Chains A and B, each alone.
Chain A
């Protein structure tokens, strides 16, 4: 754990945390390519002023992928202009931000289908295939 108390000083426009952060991202991407090691940076534990947050978003920019995930509230995943560097924002159902991360990885965990969900889906799929087959056999049958 690496928590320090950061005061909101009277000069709320500059915490100075932006530069070390982008250095860290660079280092992490290097590690990913070299050894496959994935990492995440929790932005909520690293206060940035609103200006610095905006600067970070501008710095990261947009790549080719944007994912909107509905999971008890939205999660927005954006590939930055640096392949392998992703920005993830979690919202709850009333649009409050619950978490914000920079992930340095091949594919963020949350986009991937989960094994458990797939197993459950398989049983659902079997039922659905069954039903479809039955209704195609006898066109007069009305299924609700």
Chain B
């Protein structure tokens, strides 16, 4: 049984090439790639063989897996995820125990240098017994599985930056994936949990170009983490006019005014929630009345109360020039 290409896979699933092109176009748009890249994406992605993906869960709550499952369906957005070969993933795989571990080892052996390693959850360094799978400590399993991976994607704030297990006083000595794996390309898709589309888009990019997209200084894809929530928040006009909700359910809250004074961390949080929104664009925290927690930033659990405003207000005022920049043409 040979590995099929993505093109063949899609065809057999009854997904036309036309649909696939639509996917490539919208993905390019999401990844801030120019339209001339669409043909290239279609070509490269189409002929990619179904890549093997191994998912390792460490000190996690499974929210990141659940986030992906919220888009997991034959939707355009999840097209790519449906077509990777997810050979090891605790939450949904059929095999257990020895058979599960065998599946992981086989996947690594048969795809040396080519598989992608996805990790959610932090890794405890205080004692190897703090977190084990099949009697193997998380750190050993991570090193063993990363050794032959083509690249590593750290999913969620825990894997990217340590997350909640690392919050003061960090009882188990939790660290991020990047603290342990230093010799492989790593992408951090942070968020608690992350927007699922960021994961699928990064996968699509990787399959097309055989590398990860442009990253920021924290190794997060710029396409999704290049702007703050504040930059794109639909309540921004209220911020500018100093119209703030002072309490939940007060007049300001009921009229959708800015939540800065209720502690919104939007001005310091890089993520795409304000544009992409959650659960097929239904809403996002601010739109549903709660200030942004800042969950895609390192150590956001230890940056003070979620209801403590980020004063001084003036620090986040729109600056002329930066705020008024125009499109220069492609």
Contacts and interface: CB of A to CB of B under 8 A. Distances in A.
Interface residues of A, number: 45
Interface of A: 1-10, 12, 15-17, 20-21, 24, 39-42, 44-46, 69, 71-73, 75, 90, 92-94, 96, 98-99, 101, 109-110, 113-117, 120
Nearest to A92: B76
Nearest to A47: B327
B29 interface: yes
Given A1-B34, A2-B327, A93-B75, A8 B21 contact: no
B232 A8 contact: yes
Given A42-B35, A90-B26, A98-B76, A7 B318 contact: yes
Interface centre among A5, A17, A46, A94, by most chain B C-beta atoms within 10 angstroms, is A5
A114 B17 contact: yes
A9 B323 contact: yes
B16 interface: yes
Contacts of A75: 22
A114 B19 CA distance: 10
8 contacts: A8-B237, A41-B35, A41-B330, A42-B34, A92-B280, A96-B281, A98-B76, A99-B29
A72 B75 contact: yes
B325 A6 contact: yes
B329 to A, nearest CB: 5
Contacts of B323: 6-7, 9
Interface string B19-34: 1011101101100111
A110 B22 contact: yes
